[in-house]
Amino acid sequence: MVDGAEILKGVDARVPEGEVTALVGPSGAGKSTLLRAVNRLIEPTAGEVYLAGSPTSEMDPLVLRRRVGMVFQLPALFGASVEDAILYGARLAEKDADAGRLLEMVGLDPLLGRRDPQTLSVGQQQRVSIARALALEPEVLLMDEPTSALDEAARRKIEDLIRELNARLELTIVLVSHALDQVERVADRVVLLAAGRSEGEWSKEEFFSGESGERARLFISGRL
């Protein structure tokens, strides 16, 4: 429930470890709400989310959010420098992290660590947001339309980074996207949501080779 409205009404889906799972569906399907429920930015009023076989409702929310990182649609960076922004969560968690190494990991020059984060491009800021999430060494990274505010060149760089992080770190990633071309390039699995319910889940190959891909296009366009 969000402000008294039932957003998620029946979601039954799994996210395989070490894969990129894309959540697709029309606006209002509940994709972003589902991500927030996974790491308890909102509290589910029914049902259960499991992480590595354990119910997240029994976990300390702060501990959970260190294990399950989140990257939002628009970057929001805190601190006087890029280094401060990257280490914000790690310092709160009293966890050692190397901002320069993290900048390199997301494809940025470590010298940017001295810059005011507000002087960076939006694409660079989004990479810094990803670096901030990685500073806590999460098991899972949730990404809520991380490229929707970016131009095509910056979008492709983030897509490449998602695949690279998944391959290099064996990081489990859950990606919300309205762009099926992006899903086809980036994802291993696809979960389709509509009206707060999961309509099915497929491997990427199954999804795009059958009727499911066309069904998703119709959902997203509002024609189904």
Distance CA 48, CA 147 (A): 29
Q: What token pair was written down for 19?
A: 């894969």
The answer to whether the CB of 81 falls within 8 A of the CB of 116 is yes
Q: If DSSP codes are grouped into helix, strand and coil, which group holds residue 198?
A: strand
Name the residue with tokens 């972003």.
Answer: 32
pTM of the model: 0.92
Residue spans of the domains in the chain: they are 20-76+138-221
In tens, the pLDDT along 127-145 reads 999 999 999 999 999 999 9
Question: Beta 54-55 vs 50-51: how paired, if at all?
Answer: antiparallel
| pLDDT score, position 190 | 94
pLDDT over 60 at 2, yes or no: no
What's the CATH fold of domain 20-76+138-221? Answer: Rossmann fold (3.40.50)
* 156-169 per-position pLDDT tens digit: 999 999 999 999 99
Q: What are the Cα distances from residue 102, in Å, to 5, 11, 153, 186, 212?
A: 39, 34, 21, 21, 38
pLDDT digits (tens, 9 = 90+) for 17-51: 999 999 998 888 899 999 999 999 998 888 899 99
The Cα 175–Cα 172 span in angstroms is 10
Segment 77-102, tens digit of pLDDT = 999 999 999 999 999 999 999 999 99
What is the SS3 assignment for 146-159?
CCCCCCHHHHHHHH
Give the length of the chain. Answer: 224
| CB 66, CB 114: distance < 8 Å | no
